Amino acid sequence: MPIRLFDTLSRTEKELRPAAPGTPFGMYCCGPTVYGPAHIGNFRTFLIQDTLRRALELDGLAVKHVRNLTDVDDKTIRSSMKEGVSLKAFTDKWTAKFHADCDALNMQRPAVEPSAVEHIPHQIRMIEKLVARGHAYVAADGSVYFKVCTCHDYGKLAHIDRSKLQTQNENSAGAANAADEYDRESVADFALWKAWKPEDGPNKWDSPWGPGRPGWHIECSAMSIEYLGETFDLHGGGVDLCFPHHENEIAQSECATGKKDFSRHWFHSEHLMVDGAKMSKSLGNLYTLDDLKAKGASPMAVRYALISGHYRTQLNFTLKSLEDAASALEKIERAAERLLAKAGLEKADFLPPAVHEKNTAWGSYLPAWEALQNDLNVPAALGKVFSALPNANRPELSPADARADLSGLAKILFALGIRLFTTEKKAEEIPSDVAGLGARRWAAKQAKDFAGADALRLELEKLGWKSLDRKDGYSLVRL
Ligand code: AMP
Ligand code: ZN
């Protein structure tokens, strides 16, 4: 059965399949504005998208995931000028930081990660089309605006009444400026091209309308169409992007191409709250991954905590939720260790599944997968994982059943992006006498002194510890 997911536009659950069988599933996600470290709210949305992509791959689909980098807007321009560095040097630095955080959170890299600055010609071509077709007009200062009244189904995504439209907050990078207010024919119209202003400094590009830079919304239309075609399978972002950003993307794209169904599916994830409030610097509740690492959290626990709520409800993050995530991960690791032992396998054998291949061995973990297929219900899937874990304790569990459970567990954890055994026990958590015995035992084993190694094993057991050996090393765990 294919994955079913709620679609914001039709307000129904729909099955996820590529439009043409056998072609990759085209998925566009609005990416970060690279002017500082992404916060954990941003990562909630990116992790949910990563989880969806993984689930689709596990379902046997080839996914073409495109996620842009917003590297030109008011925030990036202002911040780079304040630092006295070029826009490129500034955004390169924050892009590298974003990538490092994504890797730590075990997010798959998108197939294409287009930069807005590198696609200015594409955006200009699209604006030219909109002007030629009568959907956009040039204001006195050389800015270009989209004429909302020419788009008859404007408002269809956010389900809003066009006649009641108030002025648009141009984008996340700040409200429309005074010049915009003056030059626009209607308060509902939004900027496609912004004429250069002195405060933009050296950041300007030539266009048929004079020097300036693109508005924010147009970059996603131009780049999604460039890499996925004029219509594609799914478009995602946080709920704040539904209006006006995505509504405007639909209007621009469908008016420029003349084709309906710019994206066949709209996927929005609800926001992360912190301690019951919206995250903000002034409240002191805005966390980055580094902030949480400094508090001793592992990136895997952060990932677990951020995906553990359903994407269609707000999730309240607390530091306690990180502790809960860490202890949940430990429980899963313990069960996996028991299954590995029953199956006669080692930790190194606990590998992610081969995706795009139908592998039907789920063991006790099929209900978890079914929960994920049902509107990407991560909390229900985790609940089913925890119902299945005790199976590992059954004395009568056969090696074959243990292998089936391991296969199912590896697959569900792949979809959730959870890697086990990433954090070895910290040295200080292992008593020094135990650590010493462990090291001597490993050295004896390496020297093929098996009698000596056995004696040390017994000593370790007397202290309540055992060594889990791999080809390349060992970990000490409590019995
Ligand atoms: P930005 O870098 O501001 O363009 O945002 C990147 C992504 O993070 C977008 O998909 C936003 O919708 C999303 N986002 C922003 N704040 C939050 C939040 N508190 N919770 C979840 N997602 C968020
Ligand atoms: Zn976008």
Regarding whether 183 and 254 lie in a shared domain, the answer is yes
Residue 182 has pLDDT above 80, yes or no: no
What is residue 172's predicted lDDT score, i.e. its pLDDT?
Answer: 37
What is residue 186's predicted lDDT score, i.e. its pLDDT?
Answer: 87
Which residue has its alpha carbon closest to ligand 1 atom 7?
A: 42
The verdict on the CB of residue 172 being under 6 Å from ligand 1 is yes
Regarding whether 212 and 311 lie in a shared domain, the answer is no
Q: Residues 376, 268: contact at Cβ < 8 Å?
A: no
What is residue 352's predicted lDDT score, i.e. its pLDDT?
Answer: 78
- Which is the closest atom of ligand 1 to the Cα of 34? 2
Last residue of a domain, one of 216, 243, 269: 269
CATH classification at residue 384: 1.10.730
pLDDT tens across 18-31, in order? 998 889 999 999 99
143 Cβ contact partners less than 8 Å away, ≥ 6 residues apart: 179, 180, 183, 191, 193, 194, 195, 209, 212
Residue 177 has pLDDT above 80, yes or no: no
Tokens 């609005």 map to which residue? 30
Residue 476 has pLDDT above 90, yes or no: no
Residue of 171 and 452 predicted with greater confidence: 452
Last residue of a domain, one of 254, 269, 284: 269
H helix or E strand, kind and range, residue 7:
strand 4-7
Does a structural domain hold residue 354?
A: yes
Residue 245 has pLDDT above 80, yes or no: yes
Confidence of residue 390 (pLDDT cuts 50, 70, 90): very high
Rg of the chain taking only CA atoms, in angstroms: 26
The verdict on the CB of residue 42 being under 6 Å from ligand 1 is yes
Question: Taking residues 72-97, what's their average pLDDT?
Answer: 97
pLDDT tens across 42-61, in order? 999 999 999 999 999 999 99
Residue 472 has pLDDT above 50, yes or no: yes
Distance 69 CA to ligand 1 centre (A): 13
Does a structural domain hold residue 423?
A: no
What is residue 181's predicted lDDT score, i.e. its pLDDT?
Answer: 53
Last residue of a domain, one of 240, 269, 298: 269
Q: How far apart are the first and last CA of the chain?
A: 41
What is residue 160's predicted lDDT score, i.e. its pLDDT?
Answer: 87
Does a structural domain hold residue 216?
A: yes
What is residue 173's predicted lDDT score, i.e. its pLDDT?
Answer: 34
CATH classification at residue 158: 3.40.50.620
Distance 220 CA to ligand 2 centre (A): 5
Does a structural domain hold residue 457?
A: yes
- Domain ranges, residue 404: 274-416
Confidence of residue 281 (pLDDT cuts 50, 70, 90): confident
Residue of 255 and 475 predicted with greater confidence: 255
What is residue 429's predicted lDDT score, i.e. its pLDDT?
Answer: 64
Closest ligand by atom to 220 CA: 2
Regarding whether 382 and 279 lie in a shared domain, the answer is yes
Regarding whether 471 and 451 lie in a shared domain, the answer is yes
**Average pLDDT across the chain, whole number:** 92
Regarding whether 444 and 412 lie in a shared domain, the answer is no
Residue of 199 and 162 predicted with greater confidence: 199
Does a structural domain hold residue 94?
A: yes
Regarding whether 230 and 96 lie in a shared domain, the answer is yes
Residue 247 has pLDDT above 90, yes or no: yes
Does a structural domain hold residue 425?
A: no
Could you give the percent of the chain with pLDDT greater than 90?
A: 79
Could you give the percent of the chain with pLDDT greater than 70?
A: 93
Which residue has its alpha carbon closest to ligand 1 atom 9?
A: 238
Regarding whether 323 and 194 lie in a shared domain, the answer is no
The verdict on the CB of residue 30 being under 6 Å from ligand 1 is yes
Residue 87 has pLDDT above 50, yes or no: yes
Question: Taking residues 457-479, what's their average pLDDT?
Answer: 82
Regarding whether 208 and 131 lie in a shared domain, the answer is yes
Regarding whether 223 and 366 lie in a shared domain, the answer is no
What is residue 166's predicted lDDT score, i.e. its pLDDT?
Answer: 63
- Please tell me whether the peptide bond between 211 and the residue prior to it is cis, using omega within 30 degrees of 0: no
Residue 180 has pLDDT above 70, yes or no: no
Residue 167 to residues 154, 187, 215, 433, Cα–Cα distance (Å): 14, 5, 16, 69
Distance 434 CA to ligand 2 centre (A): 54
Residue of 122 and 435 predicted with greater confidence: 122
Regarding whether 437 and 395 lie in a shared domain, the answer is no
Outline where DSSP puts E strands in 118-270: 136-138, 144-146, 190-195, 212-214, 234-238, 266-269
Number of structural domains in the chain: 3
pLDDT tens across 417-463, in order? 999 988 644 444 677 788 888 888 988 988 899 999 999 999 999 98
Amino acid at 145: Y
Regarding whether 210 and 251 lie in a shared domain, the answer is yes
Regarding whether 101 and 240 lie in a shared domain, the answer is yes
pLDDT tens across 332-388, in order? 999 999 999 999 998 888 887 766 555 578 999 999 999 999 999 999 999 999 999
Does a structural domain hold residue 32?
A: yes
Does a structural domain hold residue 283?
A: yes
H helix or E strand, kind and range, residue 96:
helix 87-104
Residue 411 has pLDDT above 90, yes or no: yes
